[in-house]
Amino acid sequence: MNLIKRIITSPEPIITIGNRLLLIKPGVVLLIKNLPDSTDKAARIKDHLMILLEGIIAKVISLNSQAKLNQLLSSNINRVIKDAEHALIDIRENQEAHKKESIEIMEKMVIEVEASFFNMGLTDQQEEQLLEIMTKAVAESLNHFEEGLEIDNKISNIIDSLGTVSSSAQGL
């Protein structure tokens, strides 16, 4: 282990030990056994291997840069997904609270109008006509709420999809 540390930190990019050759660059060490005895052939092999080593280093740098970029993109995508998921959950909760409050307002109105019938001195026909108008308005309001339920389902589906995408992205 100590020898490996010395080799990696060596200031010399080429070390020849007998018929062995070590080519050292940051992040890459290339060991060649049985280097030819001919100095001319050995020199050509060294030159070719140094060129090859430069290409390897360039590729390692490129792969490291791409990995960092992918990690950054993945974390940004996860953040956006989580933000969207939280916003949709807030929207759904606000919409549900709004629906409950609207129903309570309609129910309160019906009770107050029915109670006021005695004080108004309306005929039975007039009371029925008013109740019919109110019943129709309540029915329309309920239809509107049912359409809101469809929106709730769509929001829930989007939240589920975002959760799935977020889980999948974290696995990358």
For residues 138 and 109, what is the distance between their CA atoms, to the nearest angstrom? 10
- The answer to whether the beta carbons of residues 50 and 23 sit under 8 Å apart is yes
Q: How confident is the model at residue 114 (pLDDT cuts 50, 70, 90)?
A: confident
For residue 21, give the DSSP letter.
E
> Does the pTM exceed 0.75?
no
Give me the mean pLDDT over the 75-101 stretch.
82
Q: How confident is the model at residue 103 (pLDDT cuts 50, 70, 90)?
A: confident
**Location of structure tokens 């050995």:** 42
Give per-residue pLDDT as tens, 27-53.
788 888 988 888 899 889 889 988 988
Ramachandran quadrant class, 104 (left: phi over 0; alpha: psi -120 to 50; beta: rest): alpha
